[in-house]
Structure 1
């Protein structure tokens, strides 16, 4: 059962994300799975100064809100990710400056592995989804399907979604996603990416030798 302490922690973490300027005003949304229920930032709320009365508590089984707060319009893909990923407990949808600039490029990069942290933290590939109406069932389905096997997706002309096991995991993934996109934008497209052999070596170091990447 979700307690007042859970809500307070959720508010604290939402404000932590908001301070990073990863979303403007009411853009972006955050959710946290707790057992068979989930906390979701409410429609129109600003994560940087989220209040407890703007946090929706929803049941996972039937996706019904049980505290009278209307959840974010992107609630469906948050719930869908949790249904498919038992390893995921936090989902963040955001619009950070450089990653969103990449999302709006005509010629978007197909490889984001400019630094070792990307394949190590977010995976070797980051899917790019076509432009779809925010809050639509089509967008929700596309995000849910893409995140079955990925921890991050780029939404064309929209933003990004990352998921992870806890708040620190998601914070780290969002930070490195934005860092990689900053490199891509500031390089003017003139950048190198890690080779598959180099990524294989990183995987060996990380998983076989106990390295901390």
Structure 2
């Protein structure tokens, strides 16, 4: 059973992501694994002001909605990620300012490791082509990319990150946004850490 307290935790975290300016209006969606159930923001809901009445409860394996609230149209990839990644408990789709600029670039970066926080907290970023929001093509592309990545850039759309808990997801999203801000504000004149630098980080951190 999903409790009122669990719904309240989920709503509070949605507000936290909104306060971090990770999305505008209804542009983002959030999910949380609770046992064999998934809490997910409802279709058309605004994460910064999400209310308990707009939180959908779904069975993870069947995808069946259990409380009558229509889930976000992107709930298919949320479910798919949770099924494929048993260690993942939180999935966030967002559209932060600079990362969305990068998502719309004609020539996107192939390496986001502008500071040590990116390889250490975000990892390699997968890039998927544009597919219509809510489409099965987009869901399949995101699920496939998330099998071995924790962050995905959706071309001309936004970003998806996943993690073990709400803090890890927030950290991942904010450091991804920071990297994209460096890339954009440098006017594409930036350097990245070498492979040796990244390996050294993992060895000593």
Range into which the TM-score falls when normalised by the shorter chain:
over 0.9
Is residue 197 from structure 1 mapped to residue 203 from structure 2 by the alignment? no
* Equivalent-residue separation in structure 1 for 2:176 and 2:164 (angstroms): 17
Q: In structure 2, how many angstroms separate the alpha carbons of the residues matched to 1:48 and 1:37?
A: 23
SS at match of 1:127: strand
TM-score, normalization by structure 1: 0.95
- Which residue of 2 is the match for residue 143 of structure 1? 142
How far, CA to CA, are the matches of 1:151 and 1:127 in structure 2?
Answer: 8
Deviation at residue 61 of structure 1 after TM alignment? 1.9
Matched, 1:11 2:14: no
1:79-94 equivalences under 5 Å are 79-94=79-94
> Paired residue for 1:162?
161
Q: Which runs of structure 2 are paired with 1:49-64 in the superposition (5 Å)? A: 49-64=49-64
Root mean square deviation, CA, Å: 0.6
Residue 20 of structure 1 and its aligned partner are, at CA, apart by 1.4
2:177 matched to which residue of 1? 178
TM-score, normalized by length of structure 2?
0.99
- 2:160 is the counterpart of 1:122: no
User: 1:48 aligns to what SS in structure 2?
Assistant: helix
Q: Which segments of structure 1 move beyond 6 Å, counting only runs of 4 or more? A: none
User: Any stretches of 5+ residues in structure 1 without a counterpart?
Assistant: 207-213
Q: Take 1:182 and 1:61, find their aligned partners in 2: how far apart are those partners?
A: 38
Shift of 1:48: 0.5
Q: Is it true that 1:133 corresponds to 2:135 in the alignment?
A: no
Do the aligned residues in 1 keep the contact of 2:61 with 2:83 (CA within 8 Å)? Answer: no
Question: 3-state DSSP class of the match of 2:162?
Answer: strand
Q: Which runs of 5+ in 2 are unaligned?
A: none
1:163-206 superposed Cα distances (whole Å, 9 cap, x missing partner) = 00000000000000000000000000000000000000000012
TM-aligned CA deviation for residue 2 of structure 1: 1.4
